[in-house]
Chain A
Amino acid sequence: MVDLATITAGFGDAFTPFNLMFVLFGVLLGQFVGAVPGIGPIMAMAIAIPFTFGLDPLPAIAFLVGVNKGGLVGGAVPAILMNTPGTPDAAATALDGHPLAKRGKPLKATKMALFSSVTGDLFSDIVLITVSAPLAIMALKMGPIEVVALMIFAFSILAGLIGNSLIKGMIAAALGLLVASVGQDPEHYTPRLIFGYWDLFDGLPLPSVAIGMLAISEILRRMSLAHGNVKSGIITDGSNRPEDRRVSWAEYWACRYTMLRGATIGTILGALPGIGSTAAAFMSYAMTKAGSKDPSSFGKGNLQGIAASESANSAVVGANLIPLLTLGIPGSVGAALIISAFMIHGMQPGPLLFEQQGRLVYGLFGAMLMANFVNLWVGQLGLRFWTKVVSAPESIIFSAALLLCIVGVSMATSGLFGVAIMLIFAIVGYLMSTFGYSLVIFIIAFFLGPRFEKSIAQSLALTNGDLTQMFKSPVAVALLVLSVVSFVYFMRKNAEAEAIDSKT
């Protein structure tokens, strides 16, 4: 168990002006890029990771946490002003945010989004800080056999939940694992699938694969869509009446149950790998609308609708770190990027993290709490500015983002070889998303691949190659049974969806 001295030392490390400055930079950058349709916090984090190499672990991670949290607030701005969500999870926010903006209250809508986003985020951070250490202690009791079973279970859930086809989900996961096997094998350290390129001996560089698949492929897709059309329609003019430009305490307090429900939904869904913040936002929105005395007002600029969506999608971010910190399993692309930043800075996520680097973990928690308050402060001051940012032409955003990706990956991988790999994975990522394969599953499988294979090797060594020994572990058996159950469940669910689809 982490002792109190470590916890206070961790929080003490975080609450310094130096770290506060990096959190502030991160939040500023996050809100800025979140407000730009087409970039978003995930792409910003992917681009920013290589630029944090020269920093100490805590300020680097504090900066990235700031980018992630700031991006969620910024993402609501284009959703409200342009009906074009900067991030997919802000799509539910647009349902009521955009109509409210059209009624001449764009600032009121963006401020409600800011307040409910910070409220939901703070709620999930408190849950994360409270439950992650006890969960890590439980996870420590698991050996390699249980870890293999847990990963199989995680893959079965991920493959079924993300995307419309379990088979395609399995292909994406298998492809991620196959790509992860490039480099040296974890037991004998012999070169494997490197095709004579000794630069690949340590495996495919994480920044190249992540940035190629998540950032460049998305930029390429949006560039082809923007081709010949660089203008954007935007609402920035609004009423000058003070009550239309702010959210009063009474209006905020009236949404307290909506935000609590949204934050709870977001926290629960965020703790489960694979269910993204978009699902949480829509679920919270639907439940709020269903429970409302005036459901017909939703979709016409109801503040409760904005509060429901934003509190839920922001609560997912903190909760996503629960499986990451306790089990080492990233639950989303954002968490997978944070895991790569952890690894670059010498942290190995998983149950041992609390034991070996408890101070750093509590430093991270401190940075997350700081980021919430900074997010609120920067949002209050910056919303007027971010409304101008969304009108920047996409052409300059895409060209700048591409140059930053090239430079960032070149710095991270010490040369243009890594950039070439990034381009290859950008094309692979584009084709995968075009043909309906989940990039999230691919990336998570790629991150988990080496650990998965190592755990299999350790399990085989422990059991002298007799895998039936696995059945002597009740935890492993339970997880494998759950994997089969989830596999069958998703197969049936997909078959039902297909049947409904073919009837219509």
Chain B
Amino acid sequence: MSKVIQNGRIVSSDWQIVTVAEGEEAAAVAIPAGRVIVPLAAWLARRDELAARGDVGVWFASNEGPEALAADIARMPVIAVNFPKFVDGRGYSTAVLLRTRYGYTGQLIAFGDVLRQQFNYLSRCGFDTLQPREGRYSDAELDAAVANLNDYTEPYQASVLHPQPMFRRIARAGAKA
């Protein structure tokens, strides 16, 4: 069970993320019983078998996008996006697309190199669950990190969390105020 921040609270996640070892075929990876999140390639290769289970979600690598999963997105019990390195920002766009274009409303997990300084941006892009790498933060650090979700309380842009930009959200005073 991994500790994650879900909707602003620290909880234990019983979703097991099935990763692919070096040299292993994602499509052929062993998938245990129980609540699992499998690589996109595994889902695409074994869709009928996995879809029948009802407790299988999909995770996207940073170079994968929601297009490949389009038809199945609505029925996913969970979707996750891997951040192999925190400087790889493709996952932010993946989340925005899932939320705004593919209508996904279920649990959306950011995992991998997920750091405190990104929490605010990640949640504004539509991730409701943040799963830092195992052991990256002590319990005390994780407690403190919850506050980072609110680093910016009233941002300028429209985003998943703030569907309207500031100029539509708030009546702002002008030069003559």
Do A and B assemble together? no
